Structure 1
């Protein structure tokens, strides 16, 4: 009977990535809290009391979504820290779960950026909004390119740093033949 792929124990390289992600949970929590605070502080601006246009209502919704997603990311990361405390082995499901707080953090950052752009667009001329929007889009494309580059680099043998060199190596093959010849 074959083991389903999702419950398979991770290989050495994936194991390294799993524990790296876990190690950064506290940092993710701090960044998530900052994003939530920033989203909520923008909502205190006069323009949002009451919202007067569809664009501001959309911006308001995205900012609230950003704050709530950040809080959920913190909650999930804290729960998973407890869940994976003391684990020595992990499965593919564990690795997928470990990435979720980071995915939620990325989503909250994207919601914050789009919400800010919509708010800025409501308050400024079209040409200014176009410049800021193009600049932001270029920076997001650059960030996506860096993410793809990192994925490719880390996927190669040696891409995880010297920790990867601790992979147990197979013992050298035993020589065949007369003992005097080897």
Structure 2
């Protein structure tokens, strides 16, 4: 009788292990499909990963990119540069943003997956921590020249590569 109980317990553990294994495979397949969808969209737009990552002075591209407010100026006469940035696990859609000193920078940050924010310390600019599909827009004046790191402050996301560079010329 004790032998049968041991066999039943081993069978239950084996079944539970199989269920966990196949559930983790479903997640991996879903992630692969999402990656394929993003790649296909880039191909349709004629862009590669490198094309979407470096933008000069608010030049217009597709999702995860910069959009310039045509002729937009702030009260001081400087240009308003708008950028749409999407955050997904451990990366931003834009790894580099370029603006001119004195420009008003407007960041529309959308969290694509997980929990993320967008922070740049030198300009005291940050979004709230957002959940998946939430968007927040922040604005600041790029009043000093140089290269400034922006990053996600959630957990260790910054250390895992969720950061980029704002270049003010």
Same fold (TM > 0.5): no
Q: Which has the higher contact order (CA 8 A, sep 6+)?
A: 1
Shorter-chain TM range is under 0.3
| TM-score of the pair, normalised by structure 2 | 0.27
Larger helix fraction of residues: 1
Larger strand fraction of residues: 2
Point out the structure with max Rg over C-alpha. 1
